[in-house]
Structure 1
Amino acid sequence: MKFKVLLIEDNEASMRVLKRVIGKANLDVVTASTLAEAKVIFESTSPEAYLCAVIDYTLPDAPNGQAIDYAIEAFIPAVVITSRINKEVRDHILSKQVVDYIPKQNAQMFEYLTRLLARLEKNKHIGVLVVDGSRSSRSKMSSLLSRHNFITYNAANAQQSLELLHDHPDIKLMITDETLPDMTGVQLVAETRKLYDKDQLSIIGVSSNRSASLLASFIKSGANDYLNRPYCHEEFFCRIVQNVEYIEQIEAIRQAANSDYLTGLPNRRHFFNQVSNTIRRGLGCMSLALMDLDNFKNINDTFGHDYGDVVLKEVARMIMRHFSRFHVSRFGGEEFCIFLPNIEHEHAIKLLNDFREDISKKVIKSKTIRHSCTLSIGVTNKQNRTIESMLSIADQHLYAAKAGGRNQVVGDS
């Protein structure tokens, strides 16, 4: 789903620039120059269609932020932009349930808005767990998180929090108070770290106790950060975003290390690790297939390497569509590998044949080029308990498929 952003701005020059900024974030822009125009839009569109509203604090018919209230009442997250940056205006804006405010005089305004919009979209898929013995404290923090589109979970004690972490893998951040009914927050952090590493889950400790030793205890027990109560709106979100982005950066590094740069499929090293672990656990049946595009050198020579890359990416996309529940990999060049555990060998061969036929029927298009290709597949279910031995047999079958005329699957006789 492509979200919309409602932009309410009466200055034409600012409107043009902001439209470009929002458009570059791959979001549709709906514009209004007055609160009256915005009301007509609000009344004719579902709030769920909007990622947020970007609102100028001063409008011709709403000179003191009245448009902010209207957006909030319509359940649309509000980002405020303003050329008035005195303390009174800032406090007035932050007293409302806004996502953020951005001073127009800030040279980094447009870059900051771009990052904020991207963050609001990502947050719709990120869970944050709030652990606090006080219902009012949980509600207050959850309300703040909801403004930024986070999926929020609440736990009144440590045991509930551990159960929620187990049941909801989308939780990337846990915020825990020090005072809990069944153990301290520091103890909960230590228990959680036995199950989840820092690259899986960020943890922020919270307390109204400003003791330096408590801060140190949280960090030494495995927390990533610490937040003192009372905290201001801006500090809270800076810490939340910083800790969520830490998890995302670690995941991006891991993804880059484990993926083939061209197709996005798992690379050979990652495939070996995953399959070797699966084989060691012991399975009743398993098959390993090695496949190779037929005459791929001719494709590169005839149409160029750019088109050859298009072919590889399209084949990889089709592999994921057919075999997403199995282990797949680009081994290098035009060679791919698939490991199919827990299915009978005859069924594995049928799946591979269906895929081979789909590839042969596919016309791969790029600019003026329209071309089809085929592939040969060697597959084995001979289990010598090592991936290397299975690969060796599958490679022999692949050679037989090539020698036998290509565009076929050859398995164990």
Structure 2
Amino acid sequence: MQDEVPKVLVIEDSVTSMKVIKHLIMNVGLEPVGVNCLADAEMALARTNADEFLCAVVDYCLPDALDGEAIDFTISAAIPTVVITGRLDEATRTSVLNRDVVDYIPKENAQVYEYLGRLIKRLEKNREIGVLVVDDSRLSRTMITSLLDRHNFITYEASDGEEGLAALRQYKNIQLVITDENMPNMTGLDMVAEIRRTISKDDLAIIGLSGEGSSALSARFIKSGANDYLNKPYCHEEFFCRVIQNVEYIENIEAIRRASNTDYLTGLPNRRHFFTRISANLKIAPVNVVIGMVDVDMVHWINESYGYEAGDKVLKEIAALLEKHFPNSHVSRFGGEEFCIYSSGLPIASIAGAFEAFQEEVSHHRVYFEGNEIQSKVSIGVTSQFNGDIHESLKVAGANLHKAREQGDNQVVFS
């Protein structure tokens, strides 16, 4: 059963604004639930579990809720709430920000709706992101985590640097650490320095906090390895801007890595990433190493007969079958029609069986393209000969692949 699409509650009495907001919500793959007054919102929530809503987009002034009562309603239902309003006066802004809202968006121009779309998408992503708050003050930790909860982050707490390091080892989804400086056992600066011994700024963001207000301390945090720094007390809007900026920095670095390490056509790791991953695996003295080279037969003929798009579709479907049959192995596209599979730690007999099952399924698989039924086959060379040199094993697997080609299409040669 597929997961249900998260809903977004929209409380807005303007027909035009409702149409625009619903459109942008659907564009980010979510389901809008629109009502035009507080009474209808109460009825909608009575029919639906509040947990089904990712967030609510609420107009400040409604026919039956002139002074933000609809905001209080969604917040009391524990739904992260984004406020939109045509009022631009300071009193309204202060009234909104005194509530536990996610953000406040004035209806000034069309660009604010683009911002709203990015914000809603951000709230969806945040559900998978862990943030560690390290502070010896329970009150301070609670205040920070309550702010992070508004933005749907998964939060973890630690009362000093040693507990913070332990939490990092335990929870693998942490992308951001927010830490105070003055703590017992291990200070924030010492914890940051210790983290940076093994985790780079590109893999984990750190924001330092302190109530001292010292420019020297902010510099010390940055020099110790923090990505950013905030003085206490801080404005909630600035806090969220810093948090999102640092989380998106980590995401952007990861996106660049994926782009450089991923084959654009199949989505599999590319040749360069293959050697990076295998080099890391070789450091742990792997056992039962098996290397397989797969060549897709007749791709040139398919390209000439049906066009390059047909050949691309064949390669993509072959890649999907490789992922299916080798879920616990490293599968990469080496280029052209060649793929490589590296397995370690699994019974050699089971891996040999996986190659045979893969070859058998490919032989019966049909690719449908523009009304044509295309059959493709594969030649496979496999070896379990491994002396610690991955390049030597690849040569043996490549030689076996050459033998398989000489024997005709759809063959497996194993040594």
Per the shorter chain, which TM-score range? over 0.9
Greater mean alpha carbon deviation, residues 369-378 or residues 67-76: 369-378
**Counterpart amino acid of 2:282?**
I
Give the SS at the match of 2:243: helix
Counting only pairs closer than 5 Å after superposition, residues 108-127 of structure 1 correspond to structure 2 as 108-127=111-130
My pick for the range that moved more, 355-364 or 118-127, is 355-364
Equivalent in the alignment of 2:310? 307
Equivalent of 1:77 in 76, 80, 87: 80
The 2-side partners of 1:109 and 1:364 are apart by 45
- Cα distance in 2 for partners of 1:121, 1:143 equals 17
1:282-329 deviations in Å (ceiling 9; x for gaps)? 333211000011211222222221122222222222222322321110
Tell me the residue number matched to 1:52: 55
Q: For the Cα contact (< 8 Å) 1:128–1:150, is it kept in 2?
A: yes
2:54 alignment partner AA: L
3-state DSSP class of the match of 1:306?
Answer: helix
Other-structure match for 2:173: 170
TM-score (norm 1): 0.96
User: Quick one: which amino acid aligns to residue 303 of structure 2?
Assistant: N
Give the distance between the partners of 2:129 and 2:86, measured in 1 at CA: 32
Partner of 2:384: 381
Secondary structure of the corresponding residue to residue 88 of structure 2? coil
Confirm whether residue 105 of structure 1 aligns to residue 115 of structure 2: no
What letter corresponds to residue 246 of structure 1 in structure 2?
Y
1:271 correspondence with 2:274: yes
Question: Distance in 2 between the 1:186 and 1:109 partners?
Answer: 39
Measured after TM superposition, the shift of residue 86 of structure 1 is: 1.1
Alignment of 1:231-380 (within 5 A): 231-380=234-383
Residue of 388, 400, 404 corresponding to 2:407: 404
Which residue of the partner structure matches residue 142 of structure 1?
145
Task: Give the TM-score taking structure 2 as reference length.
Answer: 0.95
Letter of the aligned partner of 2:93 in structure 1? R
Moved more, 216-225 or 104-113: 104-113
Structure 1, gaps ≥5 residues long? none
Residues 165-208 of structure 1, C-alpha deviations (whole Å, 9 max, x = no match):
01111101000011112132212211221121111111111111
**AA partner of residue 137 (structure 1):** S
CA contact (8 A) 1:286 1:344 kept: no
Of stretches 114-123 and 392-401 in structure 1, the one that deviates more from structure 2 is 392-401
Deviation at 1:106, TM superposition (A): 4.0
**Distance change in 2, residues 1:370/1:82 (3 Å):** farther
Distance in 2 between residues matched to 1:115 and 1:68, nearest whole Å: 21
SS in 2 for 1:376: strand
- Equivalent of residue 188 in structure 2, options 185, 188, 195: 185
| 1:302-358 Cα shifts (integer Å, max 9, x gaps) | 222112222222222222232232111001111110001122332211011112223
Work out whether residues 127 and 173 of structure 1, in 8 Å CA contact, stay in contact via their aligned partners in 2.
yes
Letter in 2 for 1:123: N
Flag the 1:372–1:48 CA change in 2: closer, same or farther, 3 A. farther
Matched, 1:14 2:22: no
- Deviation, 1:366, is 4.4
**Aligned-partner Cα distance in 1 for 2:390–2:164:** 39
TM-aligned CA distance change 1:166 to 1:103, over 3 Å? same
Structure 2 distance, partners of 1:113, 1:359, is: 46
Q: 2:71·2:81 contact (CA, 8 Å) conserved in 1?
A: yes
- The offset of 1:276, in angstroms, is 3.3
Distance across 1 between alignment mates of 2:376 and 2:30: 36
Deviation at 1:137, TM superposition (A): 0.7
Question: Counterparts of 1:88 and 1:296 in 2: how far apart (Å)?
Answer: 68
Q: 2:393 aligns to what?
A: 390
Structure-2 change in CA distance of 1:359 and 1:71 (3 Å): farther
Identity across matched positions, percent: 50
2:290 maps to amino acid: S
1:387 counterpart letter in structure 2: I
Residues 287 and 381 of structure 1 are in contact (CA less than 8 Å); yes or no, is this contact kept in structure 2? yes
Q: Which moved more, 1:222-231 or 1:381-390?
A: 381-390
Q: Which moved more, 1:3-12 or 1:299-308?
A: 299-308
Query: 3-state SS of the aligned residue for 2:361?
Result: helix
User: Structure 2 stretches of 5 or more lacking a match?
Assistant: none
Over 3 Å counting, the alpha-carbon distance change for 1:178 and 1:314 in structure 2 is same
Question: 2: CA distance between counterparts of 1:310 and 1:113?
Answer: 37
SS of alignment partner, residue 109 of structure 1: helix
Distance 2:109 2:168 in 1: 39
Question: In structure 2, how many angstroms separate the alpha carbons of the residues matched to 1:213 and 1:157?
Answer: 22
Partner of 1:62: 65
Partner residue of 1:42 out of 45, 57, 75 = 45
Contact 1:79 1:101 in 2 (8 A): yes
Question: What corresponds to 1:214 in structure 2?
Answer: 217
How far did 1:280 drift? 4.9
